[in-house]
Amino acid sequence: MSGRREADCPLDFSVVVPLYNEEESVQLLYERITEAVAPMGRAYEILFVNDGSRDRTLEIAAGLASRDPHLKVIEFRGNYGQTPAMAAGIDHARGRFIVTMDGDLQNDPADIPVMLDELTEDFDMVVGWRKNRQDKLITRKVPSWIANRLIGKVTGVPIKDNGCSLKVYRASVIKKVPLYSEMHRFIPAMASIAGARVREVPVRHHARQFGQSKYGLSRVYKVLLDLLAIKTITGFAQRPLVWFGMLAIPFALLSLAFLVASLVPLFGEPGALSLPFAGTALLLAALSFFLVMGGALGELIYTTGDLDMSRYSGITAVTSRERLPEGAPQAPQPGSQGALGDA
């Protein structure tokens, strides 16, 4: 699992696609991916992770897998969500590079060869940027724009499009990043604390052809909580005590203010000390103390955790390179590379 080395990655790259109720697109998706990657002439595999679909997705995918040895289908026992599906695909992947993408055909598999080329020695991860996003403005694009700005600010990894699933990773890096809950949105941020170098590349994006979008506005609240969790995990990864200490400061100051307010009557006009003020001061003082203690507990958790934190530095480099002219079709054809490879 976590201890995989290069030797355990006999293939060149793996394409991981989580599928949930995608019976209409799975066949087309498979064909598009194969068209895009087969001419490259590199050893590859496609991993379809069936996340408990209730339609014929599994049946169709299994049928495809029986004909093409490049395709592997991982069947879940139930529906666990997109991030666990990606995590499963990544755990099973045998390629040195791992490509992840959505199963709804909104990402274009033709971008895969380009992104693989972009993943040079200098980078550990190439993330897609849906420059001309084909989604509804109010319910999808605006919340997404705000979320991306916020995520960039909070995590310090200014990626324009965290929600784009089309990403290419160095397997040795992504297999070290813990993936759970709905953290797939934050993979670049999570990986960057492991010292990963991230590059962003514009990719094409298509309007939804089949089925319904599976996400809506309700996730805003979840994203906010996740973001806070990420901030706790990443920003202060090595110093939970400091992070909790910072949280405690405003409450400690407030406590002090109330304490002063409660003591004022002792010096000025005659009258009893204000019990509610004094009580509030005590409560807030207790809270700051509690938070600092929480930080100490955090230190304990990190020390005993199974992550090698010494590897987790905060260094990251993010560059963005314009590759696609606006709206124009893709310039380099994957076929030409295949021809070179054959020659």
Partner 1 sequence: MHEATVDISAVIPVGSRRDDVAALVGEYAEGLRSAGVSFEVIVVLGGDCNGVAAQLAEMADANDWLRLIELARDFGESSALTAGFDAARGRSILTLPAYYQVVPAELPKLVAAGEESDMVIAVRWPRAGSALEGWRRNVFHGVLNFITGQRYRDLGCGVRLMKREVAEEIPLYGERHRFFPTLARSRGYQVREIEVAQSPQDDFRGRYRVREYLHRLLDILTLFFLVRFIKKPLRFFGTIGFIVGALGVLFLAVLIVQRLFFGVGLADRPALLLSSLMVVLGVQIFALGLIGELVIFTHARELKEYAVRRVIGGDRPAGED
Taking CB under 8 A as the criterion, which residues in 202-241 touch partner 1? 222, 225-226, 228-229, 232-233, 240
Is residue 65 at the binding interface for partner 1, with CB under 8 A as the rule? yes
Query: Token pair 């405690």 is at which residue?
Result: 248
Residue type (1 letter), 116: L
Q: How many residues bind partner 1 (CB under 8 A)?
A: 74
Is residue 87 at the binding interface for partner 1, with CB under 8 A as the rule? yes
Pick the piece of the chain touching partner 1 (CB under 8 A) from 61-69, 134-142, 163-171, 195-203: 61-69
Rounded Cα gap, residues 166 and 321, in angstroms: 16
Considering the complex, state which of residue 275 and residue 315 has its C-beta at the smaller distance from partner 1.
Answer: 275
State which of positions 260-289 bind partner 1 (CB under 8 A).
Answer: 261-262, 274-277, 279-280, 283-284, 286-287
Is residue 186 at the binding interface for partner 1, with CB under 8 A as the rule? no
Is residue 192 at the binding interface for partner 1, with CB under 8 A as the rule? no
State which of positions 287-326 bind partner 1 (CB under 8 A).
Answer: 287, 290-291, 294, 297-298, 301-302, 304-307
CB-CB neighbours of 158 under 10 Å = 15
Q: Which residues of 92-130 are buried (b: 16+ CB within 10 A; e: fewer)?
A: ebbbbbbbbbbbbbbbbbbbbbbbbbbbeeebbbbbbbb
Q: Which of 77, 138, 269, 326 binds partner 1 (CB under 8 A)?
A: 77
Considering the complex, state which of residue 147 and residue 291 has its C-beta at the smaller distance from partner 1.
Answer: 291
CB-CB neighbours of 47 under 10 Å = 27
- Residue 74 contacts by C-beta under 8 Å, 6 or more apart in sequence? 47, 48, 49, 50, 88, 89, 92
Considering the complex, state which of residue 69 and residue 329 has its C-beta at the smaller distance from partner 1.
Answer: 69
